[in-house]
Amino acid sequence: MPKGRNTSRHQGKRSSTIVLVLAMLLMLTLVLLMLLALGILSLPVTDDDSPPIQHRFNFGRKDRVSGGVDADGLGKRLEQWTEIMSWEPRAFIYHNFLSKEECEHLIKLAKPHMAKSTVVDSKTGESKDSRVRTSSGMFLRRGRDKIIKDIEKRIADFTFIPVEHGEGLQILHYEVGQKYEPHYDYFLDEFNTKNGGQRIATVLMYLSDVEEGGETIFPAATANFSSAPGWNELSECGKRGLAVKPKMGDALVFWSMRPDATLDPSSLHGGCPVIKGNKWSSTKWLHVEEYKV
């Protein structure tokens, strides 16, 4: 008889465990259905021209703008969604991050003040001319106007890095033949880390389309480049690594530091020569600590 009671008790515990698991699965299903109903979560939808489903994720509300002005910026933005580009380095594309009007606004502010771009001397920490970077550029002060404030707030929401940790927006212009050889955005000197510490991430926003060339390339990324969508549309330079083709309004974010706070050498990146057309972009460098301006 005692043996029978033990067996019955064991079966009772097993039944309780099964009931608990089923209850938890039911609750999770109900929560997911509520999120879908409220529009907080949405399922990705693809067509023949879309990137593979495993690389595409939608988040937040899918806003289809039919007219008027966005609540958090200038002009109309199309449907926004994120695309995972790579995990080494960590790189993601936020499609339609900027509106056409916001892109044009940044270019208009920058055009009268463009000058030859420089690079940072890794030994002295000072700016210098270099053949590896042949574009022209300038900086727009952080929080310069409402439109820039809106963009910077959007960047902070996307990256979870406070606005105060960012440098001013750098506006860059590449004409035919101009490029930026592969380089790191993190610093190897102590001079440039005195203000804000190390650069942790970069947000590169494309302000124009480029007819041919001008890709952002990650030659040290670990990925099967030739299987990426649009491979045949890339320039020869773009086929030398993981490449992102410029598209007006899109924003590329990549991390110069790993989650364990070590520098990530796979974040090596460059700008391929423009073959046809013009390339306008805007760069926001984000630091570990507050960057004083």
| Residue 18, pLDDT score | 77
Share of the chain above pLDDT 90, in %: 61
C-alpha distance from residue 288 to each of 9, 160, 175, 193, 196 (Å): 56, 12, 33, 10, 6
pLDDT, one tens digit per residue, over 206-255 is 999 999 999 999 999 987 778 778 889 999 999 999 999 999 999 999 99
| Residue 284, pLDDT score | 98
Domain positions in the chain: 81-287
pLDDT, one tens digit per residue, over 113-157 is 998 877 666 566 666 565 666 688 999 999 999 999 999 999 999
Whether 58 has a pLDDT exceeding 70, the answer reads: no
Please give the average per-residue pLDDT across 86-111, as a whole number: 97
Of the two residues 226 and 162, the one the predictor is more confident about is 162
| Residue 228, pLDDT score | 78
Of the two residues 7 and 86, the one the predictor is more confident about is 86
Average pLDDT across the chain, whole number: 83
Among the residue ranges 37-51, 66-80, 105-119, 269-283, the one predicted with the least confidence is 37-51
Please give the average per-residue pLDDT across 186-201, as a whole number: 94
Q: How confident is the model at residue 71 (pLDDT cuts 50, 70, 90)?
A: low
| Residue 47, pLDDT score | 44
CA angle 90, 210, 47 (to 5 degrees): 65
| Residue 22, pLDDT score | 78
Please give the average per-residue pLDDT across 49-77, as a whole number: 50
Pick the CATH number of 81-287 from 2.60.120.620, 1.10.3720.10, 3.30.70.2970, 2.40.110.10: 2.60.120.620
Share of the chain above pLDDT 70, in %: 74
| Residue 16, pLDDT score | 73
| Residue 77, pLDDT score | 93
Among the residue ranges 59-73, 156-170, 218-232, the one predicted with the least confidence is 59-73
Q: How confident is the model at residue 24 (pLDDT cuts 50, 70, 90)?
A: confident
Of the two residues 29 and 258, the one the predictor is more confident about is 258
Residue with tokens 């939808």: 45
